[in-house]
Structure 1
Amino acid sequence: MAWVVGTAGFLGLLAIALGIVTLRTGWVLPTARRDVTRPKLHGLGALLTGASALLQSLLYFHILPSVSWEVHFFGGNAFLLAGLLLIALSQLLPLRRNPDHADPSGA
């Protein structure tokens, strides 16, 4: 069981790193680049999702002080669902259009 939680912790660190890169530079992984319309939301969602996985693994290995199972369960799920919601919104919301720029197809 420890290797599963350790793998989740590693993937959480990876998601946090990708979220930081996306927030700082706007770069998104090539597999998701076509679908993401709002990189900032995508980066914030990746940070929350990665934080959820990392916190769950740190609590499992007793690196962080122990909390009740309710806080552990519901807090981790809240972070995870909030991150997934932000990632979904980053793909579903339409592109922002700047009204100051002229329409390239119109007059």
Structure 2
Amino acid sequence: MAWAGGAGALLGLLAITSGIVTLRSGWIVPTARRHVTRPRLHGLGALLTGTSLLAQSLFHFRVLPGVSWEARSVGGNALLLAGLLLIALGQLLPLRRNHDHPAARPSR
């Protein structure tokens, strides 16, 4: 079962990297660009999801100090669900329209 913890750590690191890149530059993975309307929410959600996956795998390998399995389970699931909720909101909320921006004004 060590491969499951290793795969979780790898996916967690990839999600954290994706979240940081999205928050810093606004870049989104090409397969998700059509769907994401709020890149900041999407990046924050990816960061929380990756943190959850990485923490769960570090607990599995006993790298982090021992905590009860209930606290690990509830904490990891709360982070994971919060991240997935933010990713969903980043895709489902409508685009923001800034009426003060020159590009948002209708041309004559």
Counterpart-to-counterpart distance in 2, 1:4 and 1:58: 11
1:99, distance to aligned residue in structure 2 (A): 1.2
| Corresponding residue number in structure 1 for 2:93 | 93
Q: Which residues of structure 2 form unaligned runs of 5+?
A: none
* Equivalent-residue separation in structure 2 for 1:55 and 1:8 (angstroms): 9
Q: What is the aligned partner in structure 1 of residue 39 from structure 2?
A: 39
Residues 25-49 of structure 1 show CA distances to partners (whole Å, capped at 9, x for unaligned) of 0000000000000000000000000
Which blocks of at least 5 consecutive residues in structure 1 are unaligned? none
- Identical aligned residues as a percent: 69
TM-superposed deviation, 1:103: 2.5
Aligned residues: 105
- CA distance in structure 2 between the aligned counterparts of 1:103 and 1:48, rounded to whole angstroms: 38
After TM superposition, the structure 1 = structure 2 runs for residues 38-57 of structure 1, keeping only pairs within 5 Å, are 38-57=38-57
Write the letter of the residue equivalent to 1:95.
L
Tell me which amino acid in the other structure corresponds to 1:73: S
The Cα of 1:69 is off from its aligned counterpart by 0.9
Other-structure match for 2:80? 80
After superposition, residues 8-47 of structure 1 pair within 5 angstroms as 8-47=8-47
Q: Distance in 2 between matches of 1:46 and 1:68?
A: 26
Q: What is the alpha-carbon distance in structure 1 between the residues aligned to residue 16 and residue 49 of structure 2? A: 8
